[in-house]
Homo-oligomer: A and B are copies of this chain.
């Protein structure tokens, strides 16, 4: 390259001994270029200091291929670990689909919406991944209103979150409730845990849940109650609701275990299960005559593995893969159909079944 002149696509192609099209492919669809060639072109780009394509590409495609994700504040809860696995899986899947994940933080839903605006204006972000959806979520409403591609991890809970329940009387989908989402079927998870305990001979299986009004928590409770109802044991159903912490879990377990007939606890989270485990251990020490208590948690966190706690495992990688699929689909549909986000509903809403990992805490002899 001549001294002083700026590198171009052509000089890069010459330097790497490939066609212009190949250089263009490396920049726009790297996944279709052979790794060796890709590396050679990237090396040439680096060596020549070629950098204008971001601009050119965004001008041409009006796309950044970047997805925004709000990084939730670190919770003190034990279940936070699931987030790490999800983030890694999401980044990995995005990368495979030619997309990148950009993080941001926000204090609350309104601040998150302000960040959507800023990010759209300053970084030209193409779409968003939302977590922690809840009934009446203003974020999904805003994104729908502004026709911004997005997917939520977690269903809209306005209608109880049943898939397909979001069609109105006239049979047309509501715009907001009908947005693309991926979620774990928590109800199926607690159903599996409860059935496992019934199969082991337990009859009085109590539930330690979160305070009423959390979509996720109420869904997990429903799975337990359904299973007891099916077994004709709903009359004995005992529920304690409590905040999500180990200490509160222990306190709730102590209250429930005053009833000697309760021999098993299905817990809404590993944090609460860990507390219940401590309570059950103390009870066993002070009341050797009492039947041992079986316990299941939810999330299959590293702590569950560490203390040998039976727990419901969330297939986080599947969730990430489906979320990226749903976003990629929206982005690809955009040039032809600018209103693609109000399309057909059914397969844009994905409920993934978790599975029970049985460990020592529910294997104790009856």
**Interface set of A (CB-CB < 8 Å, partner B):** 26-27, 30, 39, 42-43, 45-46, 50-51, 53-55, 57-59, 62, 64, 66, 71-74, 76-78, 80-81, 83-85, 87-88, 91-92, 95, 100-105, 114, 117-124, 146, 246, 271, 274, 302-303, 305-306
Contacts and interface: CB of A to CB of B under 8 A. Distances in A.
Which has the most chain B C-beta neighbours within 10 Å: A62, A64, A117? Answer: A117
Contact of A88 (B39, B71, B124): B71
B92 A105 contact: yes
Given A91-B105, A104-B95, A302-B80, A64 B74 contact: no
A117 B306 contact: no
A46 B122 CA distance: 11
B74 A121 contact: no
B306 A271 contact: yes
Contacts of A119: 100
B53 A55 contact: no
Contact of A305 (B50, B76, B101, B104): B76
A74 B78 contact: no
A31 B119 CA distance: 14
A304 to B, nearest CB: 11
Work out how many copies of this chain go into the complex.
2
A10 B307 CA distance: 63
Given A43-B117, A53-B122, A95-B105, 14 more contacts: A42-B114, A42-B118, A50-B121, A54-B58, A54-B122, A66-B123, A71-B87, A74-B85, A74-B88, A76-B305, A78-B306, A80-B81, A80-B302, A100-B104
Contacts of A27: 121-122
Nearest to A27: B122
A154 to B, nearest CB: 18
A306 B303 contact: yes
A265 to B, nearest CB: 17
A104 B91 contact: yes
A305 B88 CA distance: 25
A281 to B, nearest CB: 10
A72 B87 CA distance: 10
Contact of A121 (B45, B62, B72, B117): B45
A48 to B, nearest CB: 11
Given A27-B122, A83-B84, A42 B117 contact: yes
Contacts of A305: 76, 246
29 contacts: A30-B118, A43-B117, A46-B117, A46-B120, A46-B146, A51-B62, A54-B122, A54-B123, A54-B124, A55-B58, A71-B87, A71-B92, A74-B81, A74-B84, A74-B85, A77-B302, A78-B303, A80-B84, A80-B302, A81-B81, A83-B84, A84-B84, A87-B103, A100-B119, A101-B103, A102-B102, A103-B103, A246-B305, A271-B306
Contacts of A91: 71, 103-105
A122 B53 CA distance: 7
B146 A76 contact: no
A49 to B, nearest CB: 10
A54 B45 contact: no
Contacts of A80: 81, 84, 302
Nearest to A50: B121
Nearest to A73: B88
A84 B80 CA distance: 8
Contacts of A30: 118, 122
A195 B187 CA distance: 50
